[in-house]
Each structure stands twice: as structure tokens, then as C-alpha cells.
Structure 1
Amino acid sequence: MSATLPVVDHTLADTTSPESDAGTRQRVLQLVAGSGPVSAAELAAQLDLAPAGIRRHLGVLEATDQIAVHDGARSHQGRGRPARRYVVTSRGQAALSHRYSELAAQALRFLAETAGPEAVEGFAEQRVRDLEQRHTAAVEAAGDDLAARARILADGLTADGYAASVRPVPGASAIQLCQGHCPVQDVAHEFPQLCEAEARAFSRLLGVHVQRLATLAGGGHVCTTNIPMTVSIDHAPAHPVLSVEGHSA
């Protein structure tokens, strides 16, 4: 009698060890930050995971309050229930980085108390000037193609830890630069000068006026910057328009 060989279920390959589980969940969290609101099916496709595997990871992240179902409009494809779409919570944002936000906030408070608010403004401007120096050459290489400039800037911001992407605006002559993560989110909530300086840097890099529509520091699930496509490239724009909704980040 021949022995019966065991059947290997390859759909469970991502559950082989606690270490691989943790690494996969971290990747899921990063994708939700960068692409959210995003569905389980979209995440499974990006990570090449079976539906059961992605649902298990989403369940753990949701149970630990690192992600949540988006309150906005849900995507409905075909019959059945609309797809649940996920975004990162504030706890999930904190889990994405090892920042020392309270120490940074204390340092800025001390700077404001001893040298005045102008010193905080100067620090914020110097911080984004460094950002501009890192990305100017790559952005300028795209020429006057504003969409290309925005995509290159998003790639650079992602490398800096901002989980950035560029998305079209249906029915409008505009695109949106979205940042799913902000390394200084908590500090920016107290010191909006950081956000305002960043928006000015985006205007200078892209050569157009930009408008902040939603921010992580203001309670949004993503920082969204509106970029109009009908404005000609101007490499010395005036101050960007800032949203009145909370602080920018």
C-alpha cells in the first residue's frame, strides 16, 4: 500500500511563523497608509496573498486599533455588500515610525519661549529648505509636465517616509498629492508652522499654487494637497492657499 502524501495549502504560506506574520502585517499597514481607503481585495492583489490571509491580517490590525473602516462612501462593485475600505488610525500612524514626538515638541516649546515664535518659523522654513534641496533636481528634470513633477515629488516624499502618492480628481482639472504618513504629525498638531512651511515648499517645487484639503494633524486619514492643472508653471509662486480645516501636515 502506498503512503498518502500530505496536501500542502499554499494559501496559508504567509502564516508560517510569528516573524513573517509581523512583517506581513507591517507591510499591510504601510499599504493602507499609502493607498487608503483601500479594500481587502486590493491589498491581497498588491501583496499576492490569498483572501483568507489578508482578512486575517486586517482583523488583527483592526482589533488593535491600527486600522479602521473608512466612514466615507464605500465602493460597490456588482451585487452583494459594498466593499469595506480601510484607513490607518492615529495608533497605526504611531506604529509606522519610531519618532520622538514629545521630545521634539518640548524642544520647539523651549525655542518659542526663549527666542520667540519667529525662531519656530525659521526652524520650520529651514526644515523644508532641506526637503527642497533633496528633491529639486529630480522634480526639475520633469520639465513643465506638472503631473510628472508631482509624481516625482511623491516618490521622493515616500523615500522620506511620507507614504505619498498622486491621484487624479474625477471631473476636475486637478490632481491630488496624498501623504498617508507624517513623521512629525503629533508635533505639527501643536506647531502648524511646520505644515505651513511644507505647503510653501510644495508650491515652490511644483511651480503652482497648492491648496491643502485635509490633513493628518487636523484629524484626516491622509494629508491631501490639491494641485491645479490649468495653471502655467511659475517657478516663483506666491504663498499657497491653506485649508481652513484644522492644521496642515
Structure 2
Amino acid sequence: MATTQQPSTKQDILHHLLKQGQATAQELAEHLKLSPQAIRRHLKDLEAEGLILHEVVHVSMGRPNHVYKLSRQGRDRFPDRYEEFALSLLDTLTETVGREQVGVLLQKQWERKAAEYRDRVGSGSLQERVANLVELRRAEGYMAEWHSVAATEAQSVSTQSDQAERYVVTEYNCAISHIAESFPSVCGHELEMFAAALPGCTVERTHWIVNGEHRCGYLIQTKAAVGN
């Protein structure tokens, strides 16, 4: 029984850190309903394996807290869709035809992907289309989710103040993170792709893994809302 529980608990810890960005042992214990002592044993093992790291956060009173987060190696445990091969191929193309031409090729690829997404998300309500888009991203190796946003919450990530239907899509891992680091233009193409896949909408980036954040976030709203 113990041999099957340990890997499962460790995986649960990795998933929680991926989704939340960071957590203390106490927070993990409360979330997974285990004792802090048991959680610390798992954290010690995961840190020894190089999958997580910690930093000491000093508080006003009491002992300093140890805050845990995924290491680069820990993030690499999640699906990356043959990213190493793709990056090597792009590097070879850059050496052969030049970075500008590679940019043109990437643009064509994202346009093709946008057309595929648009066909597959359907023509239902905006909520239905956003939900379908998230399912497509999950199938491609992204840990993605979506939620609707109240007007007051939307204002914290957008300059718009009007009432409108808005949704936030969050992706806690990037299936092309290594490519994005070497070819950051792909992230701009991704925004264009989402907007093209959801006609009548604008897409605004709210969080970005490439900037050191633990997730990528996108605010999706109707163009009518932006124009008011």
C-alpha cells in the first residue's frame, strides 16, 4: 500500500505547485489532507530529486516559512509534445533560411492552427466555444482551465470598465516553453491564433510564463465590449 501511495502523493504535490505556483508545507498538508510531517518527507524527496526548490520567506513573527515551487526539471515532467525536436528543427531552419523567413513560416503555421481551432470550437455561445478551446489545449498537453469573470475582476486585468461577458483561460504549463524562449514571437502568434479561433472576440494576455510567472493567462471578451 505504501509503495503506491508515495508516488501518488508526490505527483499530487507537483500538480498543486504547478497550478498554484508555490505553497508552504502547511498549505500542501491542508490541501492534500495529510500531516505536515508526511508532506515534509515528500518535499525532502522531491527536492533531492531536483523537481522542486524552496526559498525562505521571513514573516513578522515566528519562524520563517519555507515556500516550495517547481524547478525547471519539475516543469519538464509535464508533457512537452516533442519540443526538443521542434526546437532543433527551428534552429536548423534559422541557420539555413534565416530568422526572418522562419518567422514567416511560424506565422503560416499559427494561421493554419487557428483555422483548425475555429472549426473545432464550433459556433455556439462564447462560453461553449471557450470551454471547447480549453479541451483542445488539454488534448495537446496543456494543463488548462477557464472561468467566467465578473466585471470588477475583469477590470483588474483590463482597462475596460463596461459590462460584458468575459472569460479567463489559464494554462499552468507551456507545451512549447523552450521554443518560446528561443523564438518569443510564437507567443504573439498564439494570441492572434486564439483571437482568430474565436471570431468577434479580443484576446489579451494577463500572465506569461516567459516573464517568469507560473502560468499563462488570457482575458477573452467580445469586441462589442471593447468598442463601448
Q: Counterpart of 2:110?
A: 128
Q: Counterpart of 2:77?
A: 95
Q: Counterpart of 1:40?
A: 28
Match 1:61 to one of 46, 50, 63: 46
RMSD (Å) for aligned C-alpha atoms: 3.8
SS at 1:97 equivalent:
coil
- Paired letter, 2:97: A
SS at 1:226 equivalent:
strand
Cα distance in 1 for partners of 2:95, 2:119 equals 37
Q: Counterpart of 2:170?
A: 178
- The structure whose residues are more often strand, as a share, is 2
- The structure whose residues are more often helix, as a share, is 2
For residues 230-241 of structure 1, what are the structure 2 equivalents within 5 Å?
231-232=223-224
Q: Deviations over 1:85-134 (max 9, x none)?
A: 76533222112236654543332122123223343224323443454355
How far is the alpha carbon of 1:185 from its aligned partner? 0.5
Q: What's the TM-score, normalizing by structure 2?
A: 0.68
**Count, aligned residues:** 206
Q: Counterpart of 1:224?
A: 217
Q: Counterpart of 1:212?
A: 205
SS at 1:172 equivalent:
helix
How far is the alpha carbon of 1:169 from its aligned partner? 5.0
Q: Deviations over 1:35-89 (max 9, x none)?
A: 5456425742xxxx534555544453355453457999xxxxxxx99x9876533
Contact 2:118–2:198 (Cα < 8 Å) also in 1: no
Match 1:189 to one of 175, 181, 185: 181
Point out which structure has higher relative CO (alpha carbons under 8 A, 6+ apart).
2
Any stretches of 5+ residues in structure 1 without a counterpart?
1-12, 73-79, 235-249
- Paired letter, 1:148: E
Any stretches of 5+ residues in structure 2 without a counterpart?
155-165
Contact 1:162–1:181 (Cα < 8 Å) also in 2: yes
Q: What's the TM-score, normalizing by structure 1?
A: 0.64
For residues 112-151 of structure 1, what are the structure 2 equivalents within 5 Å?
112-129=94-111, 131-132=113-114, 134-143=116-125, 145=126, 147-151=127-131
Q: Counterpart of 2:158?
A: none
% same residue: 26
Match 1:202 to one of 194, 200, 205: 194
